[in-house]
Amino acid sequence: MNILITGVLGHIGSSLLDNLSKIKNLKKVYLIDNARSNNLNILFNLKNKRVKINFIYGDLINKKIFNKINDKIHTVIHLASITNAEQSFKNKKLIFENNYSIFKNVVNFCLKKNARLIHLSSTSVYGQSEKIVDENFKDLEPRSPYAEEKLLEENYLKRLKKIKFITFRLGTISGISKGMRFHTAVNKFCLKTILGEEIPVWTNALHQYRPYCSLKDATNAIIQIINKNAFDNQIYNVLTKNYRFDGFYWRPIHLASHLGNKELVELLISKGVDINTKTGGEERPLHYAAIFDQKEIIPYLARNNDILNGGEGAPLTPVYHSLLSKKIFPNEPCIFLNIGGVSNFTYCNNDELVARDIGPGNVLIDEYLKTTKNIDFDKNGEIASTGQINMDIINQFIEHDIYSSQDRHSYDRNEFDFNFIKGLVFEDAVATLNYFTALIISNYLNNNFINCSKVILCGGGRKNKTLMQNLKNLLKKNIIEIDKYNYDGDFIESQAFAYLAIRSYLKKNISFPSTTKVSKPVSGGEIFKNF
Let me know whether 122 and 218 are in one domain. Answer: yes
Let me know whether 344 and 479 are in one domain. Answer: yes
Q: How confident is the model over 447-491, as pLDDT tens digits?
A: 889 889 999 999 999 999 999 999 999 998 999 999 999 998 888
Let me know whether 28 and 172 are in one domain. Answer: yes
pLDDT of residue 293: 65
The widest CA-to-CA distance across the chain, in whole angstroms, is 80
Q: Assess if residue 279 is contained within a domain.
A: no
Q: How confident is the model over 264-299, as pLDDT tens digits?
A: 777 777 777 777 677 655 667 766 776 666 766 766
Tell whether the torsion through CA atoms of 293, 296, 301 and 304 is positive or negative. positive
35-44, 186-195, 398-407, 491-500: segment of lowest average pLDDT: 398-407
Let me know whether 332 and 235 are in one domain. Answer: no
* Number of domains present in the structure of the chain: 2
Torsion of the alpha carbons at 85, 91, 93 and 96, rounded to the nearest 10: -30
Let me know whether 32 and 166 are in one domain. Answer: yes
Among 188, 204, 239, identify where a domain stops: 239
Among 221, 239, 257, identify where a domain stops: 239
Let me know whether 349 and 486 are in one domain. Answer: yes
Q: Where are the beta strands (DSSP E) in 331-400?
A: 334-339, 342-349, 352-360
Q: Assess if residue 312 is contained within a domain.
A: no
pLDDT of residue 77: 96
pLDDT of residue 334: 94
d(CA 339, CA 180): 35
d(CA 169, CA 177): 20
Q: Assess if residue 169 is contained within a domain.
A: yes
Q: Assess if residue 508 is contained within a domain.
A: no
Q: Assess if residue 195 is contained within a domain.
A: no
Q: How confident is the model over 4-40, as pLDDT tens digits?
A: 999 888 888 888 988 888 999 999 999 998 887 777 7
Let me know whether 458 and 322 are in one domain. Answer: yes
Please state the rounded mean pLDDT for residues 492-499.
83
pLDDT of residue 151: 93
Residue 85 reports pLDDT greater than 60: no
d(CA 369, CA 230): 32
Residue 526 reports pLDDT greater than 70: no
77-86, 185-194, 247-256, 373-382: segment of lowest average pLDDT: 247-256
Print the domain residue range for 156.
Answer: 2-179+212-239
d(CA 293, CA 205): 26
Going by pLDDT thresholds of 50, 70 and 90, the confidence category of residue 302 is low
Amino acid found at 430: V
d(CA 345, CA 457): 9
Please state the rounded mean pLDDT for residues 155-179.
87
Q: Which residues, 6 or more positions from 304, have their beta carbon under 8 angstroms from its beta carbon?
A: 275, 276, 286, 313, 525
Sheet holding 165-170, edge to edge: 52-57, 28-33, 2-6, 75-78, 116-122, 165-170, 235-238
Residue 244 reports pLDDT greater than 60: no
Torsions phi, psi of 466, nearest 5?
-70, -40
Let me know whether 171 and 71 are in one domain. Answer: yes
Let me know whether 338 and 474 are in one domain. Answer: yes
Q: Do residues 53 and 31 touch, judged by C-beta distance below 8 A?
A: yes
Let me know whether 379 and 486 are in one domain. Answer: yes
pLDDT of residue 530: 44
Q: Do residues 342 and 359 touch, judged by C-beta distance below 8 A?
A: yes
Let me know whether 341 and 228 are in one domain. Answer: no
Q: How confident is the model over 90-139, as pLDDT tens digits?
A: 677 777 778 899 999 999 999 999 999 999 998 888 888 777 788 888 88
Q: Assess if residue 500 is contained within a domain.
A: no
Q: Assess if residue 507 is contained within a domain.
A: no
pLDDT of residue 174: 78
Residue 155 reports pLDDT greater than 50: yes
Residue 205 reports pLDDT greater than 60: no
Let me know whether 165 and 34 are in one domain. Answer: yes
d(CA 451, CA 328): 18
Average pLDDT score, the chain: 83
The CATH number assigned to the domain holding 124 equals 3.40.50.720
Alpha helices in 214-373 (DSSP H): 215-228, 252-259, 262-270, 285-291, 297-302, 304-308, 318-328, 363-373
Torsion of the alpha carbons at 248, 251, 254 and 256, rounded to the nearest 10: 140
> Residue 170 belongs to what H/E stretch?
strand 165-170
pLDDT of residue 247: 42
pLDDT of residue 396: 80
Sheet holding 209-214, edge to edge: 172-174, 209-214, 241-244
Q: Do residues 105 and 158 touch, judged by C-beta distance below 8 A?
A: no
Task: Map residue 165 onto helix, strand or coil.
Answer: strand
The CATH number assigned to the domain holding 475 equals 3.30.420.40
Q: Assess if residue 501 is contained within a domain.
A: no
Residue 439 reports pLDDT greater than 80: yes
165-170 and 235-238 as β-strands: parallel, antiparallel, unpaired? parallel
